[in-house]
């Protein structure tokens, strides 16, 4: 005779006799932390806890000294979560250290000791792609980082006043920029191409453009942080390759006396699509160039491409597929939808003008022509699709797929210093050619 509650049972049949096996009740399993990641940057520091189920967290800040306290329910402390302590870097702009402990049964407490007062955002992300559930802590400075102020601090934005009346083209004598390189982190230093550079053609005086102000170009290395972009067969990540190419391109463009460059990200951290556009507009950029190295379903796909925005739909099914894929960046990288302007993309698209798209096409053709001189093209004409990152209404904007990282041969090229240098040089030459035919307007600038 069985007495008491039967919470779990197994019925077995043996020789016509029913056997009832009574097992003890299984305790509810606490959520498991699968991975912890930290992405420090001047813009903000992100801490990610990836877990096997959705977590509920409450948080508050404490002054004197500044701390952020987070209580996570339904969680037991495990070695993975304890590993968060070692992931805080000494150069993190906002976090001194983190303490992790079991505050009470099923509640883990994180205490972030801060370097300054911050504005935290704590939110969850549903599973997507290769990610499980994620709990995100974004630590923003009280005063948002201004892109112009950041460029001034780095010596990349001239003080108010009339800039020198000097030609953008032809190129000046080569400048080694040794002093600037010495101040950059090791990963930003450009290694020389493994083969000697071809002799530079004599400057064409007919292409020289006189300008009375600085030209500002926004370079946008795609993906970053939680969003690695496409990953090649040998493990190369799109976010790393395009950042390296962007830094090379920045050096080459700034060898011109009247060009300065703003990077939408200069490290491994995530920047939402709308923020990339907003950064370009805040510095009143004359051009916006987004760099990518995407993957396709078949590894045989190869070649470089240039895209501009379309108001009427994509010019091909492949362009539409690619735009939809790139527009997932906010979902993969992780955006706090409670604080996100859901109307931003549609508003920017409504404001986009035919003139902006026409100028983008001119820029795209000039760049595609130069890339075609050193690399295979996926398609011989500029394509159009609804890329969210190209929707600045007042800035000619292009998106460059430098190569297919899903193609093993092209992945190897993308990892090669010499090839990165060559494609950066081709893009720079295309941009200079565009300005030689389309001089920038002498409008009032901020520097």
Closest CA to 224 of 364, 41, 355, 349: 41
Higher-scoring residue by pLDDT: 353, 232 = 232
123 Cβ contact partners less than 8 Å away, ≥ 6 residues apart = 135, 136, 138, 336, 337, 338
pLDDT of 188 higher than 70: no
CB count within 10 Å of CB 5 equals 7
Q: What is the CA radius of gyration of the chain?
A: 26
- As a whole number of angstroms, the distance between CA 416 and CA 398 comes to 24
- As a whole number of angstroms, the distance between CA 68 and CA 246 comes to 35
- As a whole number of angstroms, the distance between CA 206 and CA 350 comes to 38
At residue 351 the predicted structure's pLDDT band, cuts being 50, 70 and 90, is low
Tokens of 380: 């011989």
Pick left, alpha or beta for residue 432 (phi over 0 → left; psi -120 to 50 → alpha; otherwise beta): alpha
At residue 296 the predicted structure's pLDDT band, cuts being 50, 70 and 90, is confident
Collapsing DSSP states into helix, strand and coil, what is residue 15? coil
Give the rounded percent of residues in the chain with a pLDDT score beyond 90: 59
Closest CA to 49 of 140, 124, 128, 141: 124
At residue 340 the predicted structure's pLDDT band, cuts being 50, 70 and 90, is low
- The reported pLDDT for the residue numbered 321 is 83
428 Cβ contact partners less than 8 Å away, ≥ 6 residues apart = 249, 252, 253
Span 408-430, average pLDDT: 96
- As a whole number of angstroms, the distance between CA 254 and CA 252 comes to 6
pLDDT of 175 higher than 50: no
Higher-scoring residue by pLDDT: 62, 174 = 62
- The reported pLDDT for the residue numbered 41 is 96
Give the rounded percent of residues in the chain with a pLDDT score beyond 70: 76
- As a whole number of angstroms, the distance between CA 85 and CA 62 comes to 20
405 close to 326: Cβ distance less than 8 angstroms? no
Q: What is the rounded average pLDDT for all residues in the chain?
A: 81
Closest CA to 57 of 141, 139, 121: 121
- The reported pLDDT for the residue numbered 212 is 57
Strand partners, 39: 46
- The reported pLDDT for the residue numbered 278 is 93
Which of 23-37, 160-174, 204-218, 268-282 has the weakest average pLDDT? 160-174
273 close to 345: Cβ distance less than 8 angstroms? yes
pLDDT of 182 higher than 50: no
The domains of the chain, with CATH numbers, are 33-137 (2.60.40.3500), 147-437 (3.40.630.40)
163 close to 216: Cβ distance less than 8 angstroms? no
pLDDT of 210 higher than 80: no
10 close to 22: Cβ distance less than 8 angstroms? no
CA dihedral 246, 247, 248, 250 (to 10 degrees): 90
- As a whole number of angstroms, the distance between CA 238 and CA 234 comes to 12
**Segments of 252-329 assigned E as strands:** 259-263, 287-292, 305-309
At residue 154 the predicted structure's pLDDT band, cuts being 50, 70 and 90, is confident
Residue indicated by tokens 């919470």: 7
- The reported pLDDT for the residue numbered 435 is 94
pLDDT of 30 higher than 90: no
Tokens of 7: 């919470």
CA dihedral 426, 429, 433, 439 (to 10 degrees): 130
134 sits in which H/E element: strand 133-141
- As a whole number of angstroms, the distance between CA 390 and CA 277 comes to 7
Which of 65-69, 76-80, 157-161, 291-295 has the weakest average pLDDT? 157-161
Span 244-251, average pLDDT: 97
Dihedral sign computed on CA atoms, order 121, 269, 220, 263:
positive
- The reported pLDDT for the residue numbered 211 is 58
Pick left, alpha or beta for residue 183 (phi over 0 → left; psi -120 to 50 → alpha; otherwise beta): alpha
At residue 102 the predicted structure's pLDDT band, cuts being 50, 70 and 90, is very high
Collapsing DSSP states into helix, strand and coil, what is residue 34? strand
Distances (CA, A) of 439 to 203, 210, 213, 226, 429: 17, 8, 11, 39, 15
Span 208-222, average pLDDT: 80
- As a whole number of angstroms, the distance between CA 84 and CA 77 comes to 11
Half-sphere exposure of 96 toward its Cβ, with a 13 Å CA cutoff? 12
pLDDT of 358 higher than 50: yes
pLDDT of 123 higher than 90: yes
Span 169-176, average pLDDT: 40
Collapsing DSSP states into helix, strand and coil, what is residue 307? strand
């Amino acid at each position: 005779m069985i007495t008491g509650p039967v919470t779990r049972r197994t019925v077995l049949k043996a020789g016509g006799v029913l056997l009832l096996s009574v097992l003890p009740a299984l305790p509810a399993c606490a959520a498991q932390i699968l991975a912890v990641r930290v992405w420090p940057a001047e813009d903000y520091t992100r801490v990610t806890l990836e877990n096997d189920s959705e977590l509920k967290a409450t948080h508050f800040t404490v002054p004197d000294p500044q701390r952020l306290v987070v209580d996570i329910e339904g969680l037991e402390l495990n070695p993975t979560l304890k590993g968060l302590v070692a992931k805080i870097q000494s150069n993190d702009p906002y976090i001194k250290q983190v303490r992790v402990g079991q505050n009470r049964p099923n509640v883990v407490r994180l205490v972030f000791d801060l370097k300054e007062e911050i504005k935290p955002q704590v939110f969850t992300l549903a599973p997507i792609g290769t990610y499980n559930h994620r709990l995100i802590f974004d630590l923003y400075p009280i005063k948002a980082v201004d892109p112009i102020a950041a460029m001034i601090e780095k010596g990349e934005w001239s003080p108010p006043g009339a800039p020198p009346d000097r030609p953008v083209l032809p190129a000046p004598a080569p400048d080694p920029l040794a002093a600037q390189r010495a101040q950059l982190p090791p990963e930003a230093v450009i290694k020389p191409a493994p083969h000697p550079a071809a002799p530079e053609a004599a400057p064409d005086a007919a292409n020289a453009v006189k300008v009375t102000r600085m030209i500002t170009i926004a370079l946008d290395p795609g993906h970053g942080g939680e969003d690695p972009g496409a990953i090649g067969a040998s493990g190369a990540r799109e976010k790393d390759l395009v950042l390296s190419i962007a830094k090379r391109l920045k050096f080459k463009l700034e060898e011109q006396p009247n060009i300065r460059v703003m990077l939408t990200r200069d490290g491994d951290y995530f920047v939402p699509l709308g923020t990339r556009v907003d950064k370009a507009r805040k510095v009143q950029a004359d051009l916006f160039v987004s760099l990518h190295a995407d993957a396709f379903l078949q590894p045989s796909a190869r070649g470089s491409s240039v895209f501009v925005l379309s108001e009427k739909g994509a010019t091909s099914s492949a362009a539409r597929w690619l735009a939809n894929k790139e527009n997932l960046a906010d979902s993969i990288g992780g955006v706090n939808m409670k604080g996100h302007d859901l109307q931003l993309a549609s508003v920017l698209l409504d404001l986009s003008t035919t003139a902006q798209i026409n100028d983008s096409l001119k820029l795209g053709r000039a760049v595609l022509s130069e890339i075609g001189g050193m690399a295979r093209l996926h398609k011989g004409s500029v394509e159009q699709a609804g890329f969210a990152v190209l929707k600045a209404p007042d800035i000619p904007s292009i998106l460059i797929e430098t190569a297919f990282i899903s193609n093993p041969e092209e992945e190897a090229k993308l990892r090669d210093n010499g090839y990165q240098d060559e494609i950066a040089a081709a893009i720079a030459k295309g941009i200079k050619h565009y300005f030689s035919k389309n001089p920038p307007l002498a409008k009032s600038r901020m520097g």
